[in-house]
Amino acid sequence: MSPFINEPVTDFTLPSNREASEKASVAVRAQLGREYDLIIAGKHVKTEAKLKSLNPSRPSEVVGIHQKATAEMANEAVHAAHAYFDEYAATPVRDRIEMASRAAAIIRERKIEFDAWLVYEAGKTWSEADGDVSEAIDFLEYYARQMLRMSQPDPLVQLPGEKDEMVYLPLGTGVIIPPWNFPLAIMAGMSVAALVTGNTIVIKPSSDTPTIAAKFAEVLLKAGFPEKSFSLLVGSGALIGDLLVQHPKTRFVSFTGSRDVGLRINELAAKPQKGQIWIKRVVAEMGGKDAIIVDSEADIDSAVQGVAGSAFGYQGQKCSACSRAIVDESIYDDFLKKLSLEVSRMQVGASDNLANYMGPVINEKARDSILSYIETGKKEGRLICGGGATGEDGYFIQPTVIADIGSKDRIFQEEIFGPVLAVAKARDFEHALELANDSEYGLTGAVFTGNPQKIERAKRRFFVGNLYINRKCTGAMVGAHPFGGFNMSGTDSKAGGPDYLLQFVQAKSIAEKVL
Ligand code: NAD
């Protein structure tokens, strides 16, 4: 296989790409409101109850109508995946690698169309959507290559008179539970990592983005993954989620989402069920309260760019988003003035309009929760810009900056998951590090400083899974920035890194006496 390279992102300033986005928009709009089936081991299933996904830019617009899986269907999906596991696990590694690569090629071919689905269902702007789709392609290409490497493990010490080897075996049936915020990349990454290593899976997408999941299921089938190797179950997290996690035939759970749901899954999965003969493995990648330190020796202009981009790209709805700026007191006022100018230029509106920098937040519940945090923040600190909804129909919120926040304040500690930035003042670099580490989370962080000694201190002491120096704290690239956090940010599985596939296998050591 050729060496891995990251998928280039589409430049929407080019007229040809703008034209392509318009065409894709027309094609996808013509399909809005279509109905999609559940897929249980290749069988298409309809239910009485339906779930509608909406366009958060125009909530009266239905993107897709989906079936709502019942508990019996969830049970059937796990049984079917378990029954097919031995046969699928025996698929030659080569074939699995080829299927993963073909899936990447199909998404690449349909890239602008996938972008459009993300624009309409997840409220991503075109360039944010394209980043998500590019990352999905990267995960597939990268894991295909990592599987090849894993199939040729390093040789072991050979004892005299023995042939000693170690092979990696798939685990069994896994439940894949992705969030809505990277509805293609994270779902595709977790699913294909499991499939390429030889596991069978049940995918339970977020109820906010089920159409993207249905489109991804089409890709898996077209790429040649056997129809019994996966099921796609849309439905309530609480109803079918708990059942899938607790099922005795579930061998592992790959979850990405909030801290509370992740902890619940971890707890439920830990309790063995009747007939269960293994300890379930749980990979849970969870939330963040990511900080950027702006030091007295920072280039303020680039720090402003880094903070603003990390805080407000995709409306602050990235687990890696900067939600705390910790700024040295000597440059605090200057930084705030420049940041406020930068943020006030950000245009908010429907995500299908290429002119907008920010689109809507995902749904009504998220909008209400974010607005309530903004009200709390106004009491806790000093509003610098933004501060409310934009007054349009969609779930639009102004990019909001609240300064003079203390470390005990709620908007300093709690994940808001929206376009709200808390700014805190630090006495010096040590104090800034102390504030940055004053969190139960530990996902991403960044430091802006020109001082090499401070950079070294941050490398040792800033307790996050993904640290960035003199750049934004979002935009992790597969292969270059293996991704995952510490503490309540999760199990640090390092998605897009060389060790990630180890989460989906178990190693078997074999010693054969040479006769
Ligand atoms: P969420 O926890 O609400 O939902 C995540 C998934 O879990 C969804 O598919 C949901 O339907 C499902 N779910 C809900 N209840 C369940 C249950 N009882 N059993 C099983 N599944 C259940 O999170 P979200 O709102 O979709 O995503 C946003 C969160 O994800 C944020 O906290 C963000 O920081 C986090 N996130 C983390 C990473 C990371 O890599 N660390 C990446 C992206 C998002």
Ligand 1 pocket residue status of 128, Cβ below 6 Å: no
Between CA 206 and CA 215 the distance in angstroms is 14
Q: Domain map of the chain by residue range? A: 27-286+493-511, 290-477
Could you list the active site residues? 285, 319
If you measure from the C-alpha of residue 320 to the centroid of ligand 1, how many angstroms do you get, rounded to a whole number?
Answer: 14
Contact 291, 325 (CB under 8 A): yes
If you measure from the C-alpha of residue 203 to the centroid of ligand 1, how many angstroms do you get, rounded to a whole number?
Answer: 13
If you measure from the C-alpha of residue 192 to the centroid of ligand 1, how many angstroms do you get, rounded to a whole number?
Answer: 19
If you measure from the C-alpha of residue 189 to the centroid of ligand 1, how many angstroms do you get, rounded to a whole number?
Answer: 15
Strands of the sheet containing 420-426, edge to edge, are 382-385, 400-403, 420-426, 322-328, 290-294, 444-448, 466-469
Q: Which ligand 1 atom is the nearest neighbour of the CA of 206? A: 9
Rg (CA), the chain: 23
Between CA 409 and CA 205 the distance in angstroms is 33
Query: What residue type is 333 in one-letter code?
Result: D
Counting Cβ atoms within 10 Å, is residue 345 exposed (0-12), middle (13-18) or buried (19+)? exposed
Q: Which residue owns the Cα nearest ligand 1 atom 37?
A: 286
367 CB contacts (<8 Å, ≥6 apart)? 360, 361, 389, 395, 397, 418
Between CA 358 and CA 348 the distance in angstroms is 5
Q: What is the pLDDT of residue 300?
A: 98
**10 Å Cβ neighbour count for 90?**
9
Between CA 381 and CA 365 the distance in angstroms is 24
383 CB contacts (<8 Å, ≥6 apart)? 377, 400, 401, 402
Q: Which ligand 1 atom is the nearest neighbour of the CA of 260? A: 2
Give the pair of three-digit tokens for residue 49.
Answer: 């109850």
Residue 26 belongs to what H/E stretch? helix 15-29
Q: What is the pLDDT of residue 153?
A: 83
Q: Which residue owns the Cα nearest ligand 1 atom 35?
A: 257
Give the global pTM.
0.98
Q: What is the pLDDT of residue 290?
A: 98
pLDDT tens for the 515 residues of the chain, in order: 999 999 999 999 999 999 999 999 999 999 999 999 999 999 999 999 999 999 999 999 999 999 999 999 999 999 999 999 999 999 999 999 999 999 999 999 999 999 999 999 999 999 999 999 999 999 999 999 999 999 998 899 999 999 999 999 999 999 999 999 999 999 999 999 999 999 999 999 999 999 999 999 999 999 999 999 999 999 988 889 999 999 999 999 999 999 999 999 999 999 999 999 999 999 999 999 999 999 999 999 999 999 999 999 999 999 999 999 999 999 999 999 999 999 999 999 999 999 999 999 999 999 999 999 999 999 999 999 999 999 889 999 999 999 999 999 999 999 999 999 999 999 999 999 999 999 999 999 999 999 999 999 999 999 999 999 999 999 999 999 999 999 999 999 999 999 999 999 999 999 999 99
Q: What is the pLDDT of residue 238?
A: 83
Ligand 1 pocket residue status of 263, Cβ below 6 Å: no
Same fold, 27-286+493-511 and 290-477: no
Looking at residue 353, the DSSP 8-state letter turns out to be S
Ligand 1 pocket residue status of 206, Cβ below 6 Å: yes
CATH number assigned to the domain covering 27-286+493-511? 3.40.605.10
Architecture of domain 290-477: 3-Layer(aba) Sandwich (3.40)
